[in-house]
Chain A
Amino acid sequence: MTIHNLYIFDRSGILLYYAEWNRLKQSGITREEEAKLMFGMLWSIKSFVCKISPLDTKKGFLCYKTNKYALHYFETPTGLKFILNTDVNAQNVRELLYQIYRQVFVEYVIKNPECNLKEPIKSELFKSQLDAFVKQSPIFGLKSY
């Protein structure tokens, strides 16, 4: 199992944080451009998923899968968006995203008074805690290409 990369957006679409672990191919565009497209795509998927839903969905869009990777999406009621790309077999990724929110983001961004919530995260401590947290997850596992 593998974790490829992580995006954190705020409600307005600012890329608060990006990290990658086992990303084997880059998109060939700038990170800024990539983030903009990612946010736009998620916004479109989300609203379309709701629109065509035959039921009254509360949770909405959760993930999509290709034959190579899966994108997992977790949004808080405050509009923070956590997106994690993993291999296709990864289990319980939403739970991991919730834990990242609760145990890393809230602890080291929200409770760091020097972190401005409207700006990309600069805290080194957040960076290292997140990295350690992701690496200890069973989903991170051994690299399998």
Chain B
Amino acid sequence: MPAVPIADDCLFEFIHAELVNYVASSSKGDHDVSTLEYLGFCCGYRIIERLTKDWPRFKDELDTLKFMCTDFWSSIFKKQIDNLRTNHAGVYVLLDNNFRLISKMSSGNQYLEVAPRYVTFTCGLLRGALANLGIHCVVTSEIKTLPACAFHLECWLHVIEFPFPFGMTRVSRLGT
């Protein structure tokens, strides 16, 4: 097979910025958030499949989350998650102290009101990737001071045999 050409890192940042700009300017109200989140979900769902092809199976939810915080995060955002916290009951907080997609914008409160737009896609990306790994959750973000961003994950159910994106499946409560 011929070598696949590799696109430069900055192109993702530029296309992401255009995506945010497009969705934010073409929509009213809540629509922007959900569209960006959905597009992120689609990308996350597909990219994780390619990443984990040759990866050993994950032991459990926490093991999966650790993978997301280290290898997954650093392969996309050039650094690992700085802090992972959990209540061991399906709630996780992933803290990135210098989140790539807002790191060039501000270190402080400037642009604080528009910053959530630039992390919504990534919320979807996380949700999509986890969904493909069998963990269904709600992902929200919290930015107190740029360029730090916390991602809150609330996992509801552990789904076995999951078609894309949500189908009729047997579900069981994840043991904690």
Contacts and interface: CB of A to CB of B under 8 A. Distances in A.
**A contacts B directly in the complex (CB < 8 Å)?**
yes
Interface of A: 107-108, 111-114, 122-125, 128
Contact of A111 (B104, B107, B110): B104
Contacts of A113: 17, 20-21, 105, 118
B110 A112 contact: no
A108 B108 contact: no
Nearest to B16: A113
B1 interface: no
Nearest to B10: A111
A108 B110 contact: no
A113 B106 CA distance: 11
B58 interface: no
A107 B147 CA distance: 15
Interface string B109-144: 011001000100000000000000000000000000
Given A113-B21, A123-B105, A124-B106, 14 more contacts: A112-B105, A113-B17, A113-B20, A113-B118, A122-B110, A123-B106, A123-B110, A124-B107, A124-B108, A124-B110, A125-B104, A125-B106, A125-B110, A128-B107
A111 B114 contact: no
Contact of A112 (B10, B20, B21, B104): B104
A107 B13 CA distance: 12
- Chain B's interface size range is 10 to 19
B26 to A, nearest CB: 16
A114 B108 CA distance: 15
- Which of B21, B105, B118 neighbours the largest number of chain A CB atoms within 10 Å of its CB? B105
A128 to B, nearest CB: 8
Contacts of A124: 106-108, 110
Query: SS class of chain A's interface: helix, strand, loop or mixed?
Result: loop
Contacts of B13: 111
Contacts of A123: 105-106, 110
18 contacts: A107-B104, A108-B104, A111-B10, A111-B13, A111-B104, A113-B17, A113-B105, A114-B111, A114-B114, A123-B105, A123-B106, A123-B110, A124-B106, A124-B108, A125-B104, A125-B106, A125-B108, A125-B110
A34 B114 CA distance: 34
B110 to A, nearest CB: 5
Interface string B52-89: 00000000000000000000000000000000000000
A123 B107 CA distance: 10
Contacts of B10: 111
B107 to A, nearest CB: 6
A98 to B, nearest CB: 19
A141 B121 CA distance: 45
B112 to A, nearest CB: 11
